[in-house]
Amino acid sequence: MSRQTQINSKSKDHELTVHDHQTDSPLLPIAQIERLHAIRPDRVDWVFEQTEMESSARRTQANKINTLIFIERVLGMVFAFILGAGGLAGAIWLASQGYETAAIGIGGATLVSLVSTFMYSSRQKQ
Cα 91 to Cα 107: distance, rounded to the nearest angstrom: 5
- Tell me, rounded to whole angstroms, the distance of Cα 11 from its chain centroid: 47
Q: Where are the domains of the chain?
A: 2-125
pLDDT digits (tens, 9 = 90+) for 59-113: 999 999 999 999 998 998 898 889 889 999 999 999 999 999 999 999 999 989 8
Q: Among the ranges 11-15, 23-27, 47-51, 115-119, which has the highest mean pLDDT value?
A: 47-51
